[in-house]
Copies of this chain bind each other. A is one copy, B any other.
Amino acid sequence: MFRKPTLLTRNPDNPVIRPIQFPDSHGDTADVVFNPGQTVFRGKTLLLVSVQFRNKPYAQTHVAVSEDGIHFEIEPEPCFSRDPDKVFGEYDNHPIDNRITRIGDEYYICRPGNSPMGCVGLLYRTLDFKTFTPIDIVALPDNRVPCIFPEKIGDYYYRLDRPYASGSADCHGHIWLSRSPDLVHWGHHRFLLKGFGNWSWDKIGPTVPIKTEKGWLELIHGVSSSCSVVSYSIGAILLDLEDPCRIVGQMKSYILTAEEDYEFNGRCPGCVFATGAIADLKTRELRCYYGAADTYIGLATGNLDEILDACLQGK
């Protein structure tokens, strides 16, 4: 079959996480594995994997850890699950789409609170991925999902937002930039980018930015719809290090789009979706753990310099 040339290459062991790895003690089965939060923790690859069981109405999130980045050990008990008695109560019904940002020795997790009142942005902090401290509700509905930069720029923290109007014809699926003195209170909002190509025309959304020598590398997801399906691809832009509202590089093309069986045969056929990526600035490898059809997790890798150059050259 024809394969589209892209800057990310799939790992031959894909998918690296499958529903069958989540056995439920009550005989239930996991039907859905969502895109993971991803980071490096104590030298190991760590994913926050959200799954949905066939007979449970809400998702739950598990910590998964790997030495080699391919074979993962999954914590049997979820770290996040629906619990109206907890701090965020009814605001947090369905823990998916976790974004992990490391700031110094602290890890911040931002994710959507899929509440009956709308989809807010919830912020947690952890030092060990065992205890997660709820910080606050940091975005009004509907916002999916704030992605926090890994360090202050000047006096402020920054984040990328994707406010939206669910179900609306004109859904405003654009990326915005906000800043904060303290990670809790956000303002100075600025429009950054809207969908710009066939693969991203309907809407786009952010991931956690990665600091490089040439700018903040920002993987985005792009959405386009055909008569039969809504497709999600992954693209890349580059933001100015000191003024992140300035786009200094923007690929025309995606760097990954659905082509494999495990990216079509599942709950969301034709969807590859990432919330971030892991860069090794020494080896120049970029590793991206992505959700495939909302059913598997795949790993795709690329050369950081090729991607940065492609952004700068507008390829």
Cross-interface CB contact of A184 among B141, B164, B184, B187, cutoff 8 Å: B187
Residues of B within 8 A of A137 (CB): 187-190
A1 contacts the other chain (CB 8 A): no
Q: Does B179 contact A117, Cβ atoms closer than 8 Å? A: no
The answer for the CA separation of A140 and B164 in the assembled complex, in Å, is 10
Q: Chain A 271-310, CB within 8 Å of chain B: the 1/0 string?
A: 0000000000000000000000000000000000000000
A194 contacts the other chain (CB 8 A): yes
A57 contacts the other chain (CB 8 A): no
* Residue picked from A138, A139, A179, A187, most chain B C-beta under 10 Å: A187
Nearest Cβ on chain B to A144's Cβ, whole angstroms: 12
The answer for the CA separation of A176 and B115 in the assembled complex, in Å, is 13
List which A159-213 residues lie within 8 A (CB) of chain B: 161, 163-170, 172, 174, 176, 178-182, 184-191, 194
Q: Does B174 contact A140, Cβ atoms closer than 8 Å? A: no
Nearest Cβ on chain B to A297's Cβ, whole angstroms: 30
Q: Does A187 contact B185, Cβ atoms closer than 8 Å? A: yes
- Chain A residues close to B by CB (< 8 Å): 91, 115, 117-118, 120, 136-143, 161, 163-170, 172, 174, 176, 178-182, 184-191, 194
